[in-house]
Structure formats: structure tokens, C-alpha cells
Structure 1
Amino acid sequence: MVEVAGVLPDGRLIPSSSIGNNKTWLDQADRIILEVNSWFSDGFEGMHDVYYGTRLPPHRVPIPLVGAGDRIGEPYLHCDLSKVVAVVETHQPDRNTAFAAPDAVSRAIAGHIIDFLQHEVVHGRLPARTLLPIQSGVGNVANAVLAGLNEGPFEGMSAYTEVLQDGMLAMLDKGTLAQASATALSLSQPVAERFNADAAAYRDRIVLRPQEISNHPELIRRLGTIAMNAMIEADIYGNVNSTHVMGSSIMNGIGGSGDFARNAYLSIFVTPSVAKDGAISCIVPFASHVDNTEHDVQIIVTEQGLADLRGLSPRQRAQCIIERCAHPDYRPALRDYVARAALHAPGQHTPHLLGEAFSWHTRYLREGHM
């Protein structure tokens, strides 16, 4: 079943607020049900860019995209109508969760990121004013970081991301963001209703693409994306857990964070330093689940500060993360863990006490506090 905003007389499909992998499903499916959602306004037509030029090796050619706002395909999906077994008419908006207003913690995180980006500009590693295309994960913290960027010194920026949320739309409204490329919208209900009514006004500034293009590793690398993604926890060596609470209970999927983290020009992960009113430290000795390894994580940010891990050895990373990102309540225990691990294995590259590595998590499960 594939949702579309409309069907043209010749069978071409007008995509809705999410393309995702719909192009692939339509190509590969034996039977198709089309859900035609009349809630979407006519302004959605022309916002999409569906590229049909991908080929399998040895016939593969470079994808001709060099800017976040480039349009390299067509605004419609193709469908073999002989495979369509039913058409369902609906009139329903997307069911998206509302975003919380930025709080002091998220504003502090945003401030650290803006200071860092300005530092990179001063040292010639980023272009002034417009930076490089930004990517943002979904969630309250990520949305708050975007709100901070919208109040920052940069303007005329671009976004090359997987999901466009409230914060990016506010940046487009203000002009902080000149154009945005994504594969889907994830807007709170009031913002979605406003966007739907004004979709035509955004059509030239927003491009919605298939996920195989929005998350394409070579394109992410080519554009020099600045990736900013939320996490559940990070360990002292920079491994990031994006998906599982206490290593077992899934909170969410990894989404596109892995695609962007491994290939971005800058790979940034953000989180508050503690959760559950301080009962959980988001900086731990060893991540209870690893989605993005230390090799793909360059920057870790909490409200406490920012750890730039580029070029650091594991022991240097541990010191940097503890002193700049961990909550003060947990720093002494983290320092103690590192010191004893180094004594226990003085010649090892990444010292760990395997008998204690997950003791913080087991203590929380047993006592309700790390």
C-alpha cells in the first residue's frame, strides 16, 4: 500500500508528504493498493524530485546532484497500473507527535554547537554565513537545536536531510535556511496544517526525494553534510547508542543516522547529560548498545559542553568526554573507572574493566539509579 496525493490521467502518481522507499515498493511489488489522500493540497504537486537514473553495476553512472536544492528527476512516481488491485480514498492528515518547546538544556546544547560552528568558520574549515548543508535527526532535542540555529549568526543555509521537521520549516520561514532537501515531512499537527495550506509557497524551496537519494552515502559525502543526530547514550570512548534503553528495550529505530554519521563532513551527536531526573547518566563506561561506533562519531554535545574527538586517541577521548560532556554528579565515578581500567591494563589501547563495564546499567535496573 502506497499513499499518494493524487493520480494523473496517464497514471503518474503525485507523492504525498513522504516518498521514502515508495519508488522501490512500486517497482518491486506484484500487487499494489493506492491510498489517495485528498487531505493534501494541490500545492504538493511539483515539490518532489524522483530520480529514475540509478543503474546496477557495471552500468552505474554518477548521480548528477551537486547542490542540496538540485532537481535531477521528475515530480511524479511511475506505476505499472496493471499491478494496482485497489484504490482507497482517504482524507487524513499525518499522525505526527508534537514537539516540546526548547528548554534550558536544549538551548545550552544549541549554544555549544553554534560556538563550535563559528570556531570552524574562523579556522577556515567551514564557509562563513551559509556553512555546509545541515542534516538533523528527529526529536525534541534535535528540533530545539534547529531553533537555536535559527537565532544564530548564520543565514541562507541549505539542508540535506532525511526528515524535515518544525525547526527547519521555521528556518525556511525566516530565511536562515534557503532550501531544504528531505525524503519526508514530520511536522506537528498545527504546523502540518499551516504547511498544507501554504504548500505552493514552499514548492521551490523544499525538495522531497526517494530515500535512496536523500540517504545516499556518496551524495552525503559529496555535499559535505553537517550531521546532527540525537542519541540515548554515549560511552567514554565515543561509541553511540541511538536506539535501545538499557541495551534491550528499543526506543526507536536507527533511521538515517548511520548513513549520515559515517559519511558526513562533520558527525555530531547530542543528548542531555542525564535522564530520568538524574537517575541515568547519558555518558557511561560502555554503551549498552552500539549503533554508531567511535570511528564515525566526531563530536559529542550535552548541555555541559562539547567534546571534539577528532584526532584523539581513545584515552584522550575518554578524558575529553568526561570533563566536557558528563554531568558533574557522574564525573568522579567515570574518572575512577578510567583510572582503575588503565591500572588494570596499562598497555592496552582502550582500557576497560569488563566485569564493571555495564555495572551502571545493571545498578539502574536493580536500584532505579545509576
Structure 2
Amino acid sequence: MTVSPYSSDLDLVELAERMSPFNPVSWYAEWKRIAEKNERLAEGFEKEGHKVTANEYYLRAARFYQRAVIYQSEGDPPMLPTFNKLIEMYKRAWQLVPPPFERLEIPFEGTTLPAYFSKPRGNPGQRFPTVYAFGGADSSLVGGGGGAYTSRGMAYLFLDGPGQGIPLRLKRVYAPPDSERVAKVVIDYLVSRPDVDPNRIGITGGSMGGYTAPRCASGDKRIRACSMSSGAYSLLEDIFEYYPPIQERLRWLIGAKDLADARKKIREFTLEGRAQQIECPMLIGYGKDDRIMDPQGAFRLYQAAVNSKRSMVAEMGHDVGRARPSPLRPPILADWMAKQLVPPS
């Protein structure tokens, strides 16, 4: 719960100077203050007819509101109004300038999951290798990502899944232990698209997605490559017990009634008996000093996934406590995925 001062963005520098480290009240107040500042600037530019500039500032406001709400719990009064505010900012931004991606609603067990789909430029009828991105416990749908993949010839789908963002906060759709259930409906959708190569689909995950991505790969053989940062084997051991401050957040996103129930439910979030079912190549990232996800979980996954051509890479965990995050994460994951999925030219 810190902000690095190493930024060319003066708003972020100001945040770093004003914020009290590891103070949830200060975190919320400062991010919200900067979000409101950018919202006011966006409204001013919109009134003056500068649609592109207004779009840019609404997007900034949305991202700052997202940072404000990220640590708000289920019972915090500001949580829902602030989350609705970030959604409003995105809507206002894209009303002014159409987004450079498709906004989707993918059917899932009686509801829908919001997603966005980006793809490279190509010839009419061209089918692209595609990467399905699975976020973590703090994930929320924010359009515009995926450039590291599209610039390397891959399409990119990011999903607000059960236990995340809109499904969690507005629909009370909680994360299941068998995330392959979610992957099935997403991949069913992807293979129905005329611009997706059904034989070249990969999945990537970060944070809690370091469990869900390999779990998906264990249950759906249409996944041909799997990469992750903060790889995990058992969420009970690797995050729930390893990092107690996150227990209440995990309780909420898996739909448990209390911490005792959460401990019982989260035992099912495991790759025990399943890791050996993963047959696609894997890149398992970890951080040796990761304070949130136990790096030993990544090693246990590596040891158990005996039928996968797998490798491990360091400096791919949570950047908690670092003034300078690792510069390696995006290109390593995207380059590795391109090597697995993109045909040689």
C-alpha cells in the first residue's frame, strides 16, 4: 500500500509525497482526490469540445478511482459508490472516443461476464493466436491493455471473472475453485469467432491468476500455452495462510460467510491431483521476496506438473515493498507466449 515516486506523471509523484504508507484511509482519500481532479479536468475539456483530450482525462480518472477502491472491502460504505464512479468514467470516455477494442458480455451460468477483446491489424478473414488473461484478487476490467500481445501478433481477451470487478461487486458472482468452468465458456466463445485460431489459444494469469491459469490449463486441452506471475499450487497454503492480511478479501471473493468457512472453502482451490493433467508448456513466474504469494507454491507447481514442458522465471511476483518494480514482467510473458503460439513468419 505504497506509491513509487519514480514516475514522470506528476499526479503519481504528488500521491507518493502525500500518502501515508500502509494506511488504508490515506490510500483511499489520496487516490480519490486525484481521481476527482482528473474528472473535473475531463469535464472542462468536454465542455470546450476537446473530445480526445477529455477522453484521455476520463480514462485517467477511471484508473485513479480504480486504485482508490482496490482495497475497499465488502462492507466499506465508499466501496460501491466509488466502484460505480470508475464505471461511469469509462462510459463517459468511450462515449467521446470509441474504444480500440470490442466490449463483450460472455454468458456464464445465468449471468454474463464483461470482457474486452483486442486484436492486431490483419487481412480480412485472418485468424489470430489468442491469449486469454485471468487477473487476480484485486482485478477489475479496465480496457486498453494487451498491447504487449497485439504488437506481437496475438489477439487478447481480458475477462472480469467470478470473484472480480463487476461480477463480484454488482452481481455477487463468486470465484469457484474449479476455474476451468469459467475457461470453458470463454474458450467456447473464442473458438466461435472467425478471427481466432482455435488451435493457438493461450492463457496468462497474475497474482491469484497464478493459480487460476494453470487450473484452467489442467481442465481444458484447448489451452496450448500457460504463463503466470506469482505461480501457486494451493491457495490455502500459498496465500491464505502465507499472507493473513488478505484473508478477509479472499473470504469475500469466494463467497464464504466467515473466516472459518473461508478456510474450509479455500482448501478446494488446489492443483493437487490436477497439476499432472497439464500438458501444455508453462512459464511459472515467482518472486523470491514475494510477501503476498509464497514462492514455494510456484516450485510445488513446477514439481507436480510432470507432463508439461515447463520452466520457472524469477522476479515475477508481487512488487510489494519495492521502490522500483521489475522491468522484466510484460516482455518476458508476451515474448514467451508469442514463441509458443505465433507461427514463424
Check whether TM > 0.5: no
Q: Name the one with the larger helix percent.
A: 2
Q: TM-score band (shorter)?
A: under 0.3
- Alignment TM-score, normalising by the size of structure 2: 0.25
Higher Rg:
1
TM-score by length of 1: 0.24
